Structure 1
């Protein structure tokens, strides 16, 4: 659940006047800015592309509407990855996401590596490594002592790291396997969209800070943007189309057709949900983890496992049970 941390860090830079949410940040992302839009594949299987026309902005990056995708979620990008062959510089953002765009920025939605690019923007603008910036500006102010991208540099955290578990068959138990590759394996730099190691007790601190709006992380007017719809009409339509398959994302996603994207996660954009209020912000993580912040109801929460693959069918109903019980105990059902 790395992306929320990176989103908050980026908005801190907006507050400092180092960048705006709507300026073109292509100059800060040369590797990403040169990517062209995938248009298909030739008879020989080679990908065909065209040049991008629209600018790349922080708002589009933060809302997964800048054109990027993930090769494990897009068959076309998976095909490009296979054709590309082994990475030339493994463990880096530029190499891991050396893929074409799926669409013109601002004209669709695809869950993506765009927050990893936001991490690169943060490093360029601050002159700091993402780990160092977050430690000084997010983790230390909140007393988060068990959070890092590089657990090998923190033996006291590494000693308490829980092994990842895997479920090969939905009907079978999970099996721990500390040696199997995960999203943190082999990373040489901090990825803004994945790879953060933390504890549930640490993670709730960032959620609670944003819930009560204590301004330890963001000014009130900046934090408010996290909880406001940000997608263009075309991008929202694209997101809603994906939400027709609620199993594509980790979490509990009723078919309300009332979703948008804030600057830090998916946003409830209506009143049909039985207990989530309009403006509630939510998302999760690949190892079957979720978080939510509902300012109107006055609740936040985070639930975690160390289970792969994402959207495990045995864990999925627990997300709903945990969240619903949180609202119940708060007297908001």
Structure 2
């Protein structure tokens, strides 16, 4: 979902993510994928050992991750951020995104700063997500 092979504007990228949420909810007028295919994006696929390796690779203190056929999944709510069942990833080219089917929102961010996971960009992404959800709750 966040590879280097997708060429579009950030607005178009968000349109794709929003469309996937609509397909997931069964409300898309002309879905580009089947509802079953999109719902599969949000189903965990890794065995227990794979989950541990994913956490180690992500250097994530939060143990509530899984992986689907398309993206990383949150297996529990992230306080002030994504809900359980959200899918997310970041791309090599500095793109970050998530889809939160429970809340019905998606967010995309791009930086074009390398290396990936630059500490300042990671902090900015975290703050953007916090502010985004704070705005939803206001």
Equivalent in the alignment of 1:325? 131
Equivalent in the alignment of 1:186? none
Equivalent in the alignment of 1:206? 16
Equivalent in the alignment of 1:232? 47
Equivalent in the alignment of 1:114? none
Which structure has the bigger radius of gyration? 1
- 8 Å contact 1:299–1:330 — kept in the other structure? no
Out of 289, 309, 316, the residue aligned to residue 122 of structure 2 is 316
Closer, same or farther in 2 for the Cα pair 1:238/1:221, shift >3 Å? same
Higher-strand-fraction structure: 2
Equivalent in the alignment of 2:82? 276
Q: Residues 10-49 of structure 1 correspond to what in structure 2 (within 5 A)?
A: none
Structure 2 unaligned regions, length at least 5: none
Out of 197, 201, 215, the residue aligned to residue 7 of structure 2 is 197
- 8 Å contact 1:204–1:301 — kept in the other structure? yes
Deviation at residue 204 of structure 1 after TM alignment: 0.4
Structure 1 unaligned regions, length at least 5: 6-192, 247-254
Deviation at residue 234 of structure 1 after TM alignment: 2.1
Equivalent in the alignment of 2:35? 220
In the alignment of these two chains, the number of paired residues is: 132
Q: Residues 242-281 of structure 1 correspond to what in structure 2 (within 5 A)?
A: 242-243=57-58, 245-246=59-60, 255-271=61-77, 273-274=78-79, 275-281=81-87
Deviations, residues 81-114 of structure 1 (Å, cap 9, x unaligned): xxxxxxxxxxxxxxxxxxxxxxxxxxxxxxxxxx
Structure having greater relative contact order (Cα 8 Å, sep ≥ 6): 2
Q: Distance in 1 between matches of 2:64 and 2:118?
A: 24
Q: Look up the SS of the partner of 1:315 in the other structure.
A: helix
